[in-house]
A = this chain, B = another copy of it.
Amino acid sequence: MGNFKGHALPGSFFLLFGLWWSVKYPLKYVCRKNKNACYLGSRAGFQRLEFIEGIIKAVFALIGMIAEQFVPDGPHLKLYNYEEKHWDHLMNWQHATMYLFYGISGLVDVVAHGTNALPVALDRMMLSLAVFIEGFLFYYHIHGRDMLDFHVHQLLLVAIFGAALCILLEVFFRGSIVLEMLRTSLCILQGSWLWQIGFVLYPPNGRLEWNQMDHNNMMFLTMCYCWHYAFAFLILAVNYTIVSCTLLLKNCLLSHSVCMKF
């Protein structure tokens, strides 16, 4: 998928999940702090959310895998071209492999939160592994590319491995709002940066391509990456404010005790 769409599509998925998490985790936190503030935020409710999230993740991953295989110029499940003696569409296979692990992570979410057969912490470990595998495949993916191409993907790797580490920490410090918000911010960053990569490497509408060898471009993109991250925090802050204000206002109308406390 070495084109604009191939970066924008997964980028959108990450943005979608990031935005959703930037609503969900503040909601969960505010509910936990003001127990009487929200009736919807019961423990069971949030567990059901995780269950649904798992289903969506698994479905997205399945769609991704099928798409990678059966797009017109895809491998159609053929791995080796015996006539010409070379591997067939390795790129698509690699992307399908990435989706596979997100699919497994989704399945584990479903089983861990739908039944009580699995230890709950397993969902974070599988997500961490899925993100790690994504980074791992990317790492060997970008070997030997042009300087700028290499650089923008390397920056992406920082977000990916950072997220993998953050989720691994969540296995041990489960429910820590700080880690959950860090993860959310890294997820939004990854999504928006994938869009940026698309714009840089495959400028749509025939706009001028970036000079791959200009050191200044590299320095600008490093800085741009930080702005994306600042932007992710802005989104997080806005959503956090909206969620907590809405919840507290609604509560004020119902009872006066919380308003006083606030």
Contact = CB atoms under 8 A, between A and B. Distances in A.
Interface of A: 29, 86-87, 90, 93-94, 97, 100-101, 104, 117-119, 121-122, 125, 133, 136-137, 140-141, 143-144, 158, 171-173, 176-178, 181-182, 215-220, 222-223, 226-227, 229-230, 233, 240, 244
A133 B90 contact: no
A239 to B, nearest CB: 13
A178 B140 contact: no
Contacts of A117: 244
Contacts of A140: 218-219, 222
Contacts of A220: 87, 90
Given A90-B219, A171-B178, A244-B117, A101 B136 contact: no
A227 B181 contact: no
Given A226-B133, A244-B117, A181 B216 contact: no
A93 B223 contact: yes
Nearest to A144: B215
Instruction: Return the 6 tightest CB-CB contacts between A and B, nearest first.
Output: A140-B222, A121-B178, A87-B216, A119-B177, A97-B226, A125-B178
A29 B86 CA distance: 46
Nearest to A80: B220
A97 B173 CA distance: 31
Contacts of A97: 223, 226-227
